[in-house]
């Protein structure tokens, strides 16, 4: 009733079916995620850039922080999805500033306590935004705590040490460094690279996680510079 299983047409069909399997596996596991990831990054960058138009001194801030944070995370041994997540978190982290009044962001004088309170609400708003999106909800925590300091002096919750998610500690260092070296309304003269690095190093164990600072100085090539300086002396 059936023909020979080794009928050439059957073999050809089986071959085609197997290639279809391989192809669809490749597309769904490698090609598609990569393509979607690029689309995501592009769109979130555009949205972050839109928020930055409010905050005159910070154009490109999110993008630069994201690059720095990814470098740092790589140095600290992050891989794959975790690396992507820190990139998204860096891009999203200041989106909460959409809800902070314009006047406050561009104020030259020191802020009053009430104004601080409003400004300090931005991680919370950013986290809320992230939590509203199923795809991003697991990074709400990183966004929420990106202004926490190692010794518990940060906001919003005053967490200290290891209580702060590692991703947030990384974001904190990267964001602070970028803020130091770029022009802001409250410090019109930005620090030089060396001054900023010194500042970050001084903050190790006080504001920043020493481990993250170590990695940060490494990628900034500080060791090499120090060695050179020692040789010269």
Nearest to 84, CA basis, from 130, 26, 40: 40
- The binding site for other proteins (CB under 8 A) comprises 1-5, 7, 9-10, 13-14, 16-18, 20-21, 24-25, 27-28, 32-33, 36, 39-40, 42-47, 49-51, 53-54, 95, 98-103, 114, 117-118, 129, 132-137
Report in angstroms how near the CB of residue 97 gets to other proteins at its nearest. Answer: 9
Q: Which of residues 54 and 75 has its CB atom nearest to other proteins in the complex?
A: 54
Report in angstroms how near the CB of residue 142 gets to other proteins at its nearest. Answer: 16
Report in angstroms how near the CB of residue 110 gets to other proteins at its nearest. Answer: 17
How wide is the angle at C-alpha 141 spanned by C-alphas 138 and 143, nearest 5°?
A: 105
The string over 27-59, giving b where at least 16 C-beta atoms fall within 10 Å of a residue's C-beta and e elsewhere, is eeeeeeeeeeeeebbeebbebbbebbebbebbe
Q: Which of residues 121 and 182 has its CB atom nearest to other proteins in the complex?
A: 121
Whole-number Å distance between alpha carbons of 185 and 57: 7
Whole-number Å distance between alpha carbons of 88 and 136: 8
Report in angstroms how near the CB of residue 148 gets to other proteins at its nearest. Answer: 22
Q: Which of residues 24 and 202 has its CB atom nearest to other proteins in the complex?
A: 24
Q: Which of residues 115 and 151 has its CB atom nearest to other proteins in the complex?
A: 115
Whole-number Å distance between alpha carbons of 125 and 51: 13
């Amino acid at each position: 009733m059936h023909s020979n299983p080794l009928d050439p047409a059957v073999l050809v069909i089986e071959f085609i079916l197997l290639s279809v399997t391989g192809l669809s596996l490749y597309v769904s596991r490698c090609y598609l995620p990569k393509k979607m990831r690029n689309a995501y990054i592009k769109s979130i960058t555009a949205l972050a850039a839109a928020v930055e138009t409010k905050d005159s001194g910070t154009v490109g801030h999110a993008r630069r922080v994201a690059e720095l944070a990814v470098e740092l995370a790589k140095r600290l041994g992050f891989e794959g999805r975790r690396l992507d997540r820190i990139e998204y978190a860096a891009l999203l982290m200041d989106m909460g500033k959409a809800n902070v009044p314009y006047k406050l962001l561009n104020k030259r004088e020191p802020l009053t306590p009430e104004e601080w309170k409003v400004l300090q609400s931005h991680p919370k708003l950013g986290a809320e935004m992230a939590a509203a999106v199923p795809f991003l909800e697991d990074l709400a925590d990183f966004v929420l705590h990106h202004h926490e300091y190692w010794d518990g002096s940060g906001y919003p919750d005053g967490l200290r040490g290891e209580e702060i998610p590692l991703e947030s500690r990384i974001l904190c260092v990267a964001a602070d460094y970028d803020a130091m070296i770029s022009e802001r309304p409250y410090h019109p003269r930005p620090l030089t690279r060396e001054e900023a690095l010194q500042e970050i190093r001084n903050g190790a164990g006080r504001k920043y996680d020493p481990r993250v600072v170590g990695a940060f100085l490494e990628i900034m090539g500080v060791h090499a510079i120090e060695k050179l300086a020692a040789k010269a002396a």
